[in-house]
Amino acid sequence: MIVDPQNKVAVKRVKTGSRASGDFIITEGLNGGEQLIVNGLQKVRPGSVVKAVPLNQAANVNTPVAIAQAKK
């Protein structure tokens, strides 16, 4: 799932490739600048409004959603 420009959760189909350091590599389906939800997926639903927090700051914030910026 991703966070759209209106801070709403949306479903986004992606294709994964191999794993690197325990993480999946997404090979298709993301556009540059999209925010991908990587933590708290069990707490969000499509259409929910969320506050995205960069993954490197998520450990310091009590939030169900952390994101990783897709590379441009």
Domains in the chain: boundaries: 2-69
- Residue 34 DSSP one-character state: P
Collapse the DSSP code of 13 into the 3-class scheme (helix H, G, I; strand E, B; otherwise coil) and give the result: coil
Does CATH number 2.40.420 belong to domain 2-69?
A: yes
Q: What is the model's pTM?
A: 0.67
Question: In b/e form, how buried is each residue of 16-50, taking b as 16+ CB within 10 angstroms?
Answer: eeeeeeeeeebeeebeeebbbbebbeeebeeeeeb
Q: pLDDT tens digits, the chain, 72 residues: what are they?
A: 999 999 999 999 989 888 888 778 888 998 888 888 888 888 889 999 988 887 766 555 554 444 444 443
